[in-house]
Chains A and B, each alone.
Chain A
């Protein structure tokens, strides 16, 4: 073995990872996490040629890691396979751009009205499908040129550095602003992190160089705030999972940065994780107004589940009078960030989401809620039920909050 990571030796072939895989559920041609992760890793490490095309069909949902009773880093092994898998032509170009939502976001949000008009045009969507391998079935999310404003410190408030992530920053800054206000209402002064991608899209598209670049720049920036006592707050569960991730192997060349990465991940909180801690300690601001009755269908994103924080939004929103919220337990939504935008994967993505769509429609909610931007897109696309971030529901409940 030419690799010192021996976790794959813990694999006893129980196939529990396969039972958790959303792709395998709908697409039996897919080899599944056991074969693509620990099994094929042995070939990859020895340089033995193997058929690697199926690694491209992994969602990166991390459900296999959560399912494995023996602690095998299944999805990390598959991601290594993705990074080694040769791509060419249009697919390579497409994946290059999909791995860089921050660059795309900067470009499109600076010319938002033009960019949005062009992205909506049917001929352009046909062109993007034929030449860019991006499905014409979906609408691209609209870009916004609004910036998320920080909140000025009060005396005695705790410091928070809000990491909005590319989707909230460029496509949903109104959600970002709500997050800042919620933190402010609960005693935090809030700064906004610089526009660097968390690296999750790069990981999903097999772009290790881009991932390493994101991780290095983020750690170098955020460790300063962490060392001054700030908490890092995310409201996108994929960003949160990326920032909490164990990237010491990527930072092996920079031991100080690797050590800083541990401090950053230790100080990173999902917004709801932080608020529920306040709630448990009896310190949550609960000046809620007369209830606006809402029946909400909640979807738990895979990258929230893989953070191991329970279901904090259910607990928070159940404390708000007038809110009825139920989790629709139907596994993955199938979108997986950029996955559902790819021509060859659109059908699989929608098949995976089918159980969730049916569950939500059967529940007949006023709104669907989920904290992941890409799950929101998928649920709206699959059910036509308006889907919002749970932070928007919580903010609406405060006296100062405005209705959605």
Chain B
């Protein structure tokens, strides 16, 4: 299982890539593996506001529904509509093609709460 070092992570199993004031958000390899075959995704509209720790969308496997939690607060600048049509990309390429939303970061102070790759890996080891 992969946890790229250049990404930040949350305990709700999202990853974040920060570039300037824009954060790209997706779910981790661990999350996609736990979910199993992803068959449905619901994402917010461009321009929507997301709030840290609040659900911003939904991902469904064959068996179950899971909320997606925003790692940061801000407004959505871009949505990856391609994964709505091909949700299996979330299983195949969770850190690449299957990014979910880009958020304009409202409060840079929240960045400090994100986990490093090592911290996240330790967290999921303990959770198992």
Chains A and B belong together in one complex = no
Binding site for B on A (CB under 8 A): none
Binding site for A on B (CB under 8 A): none
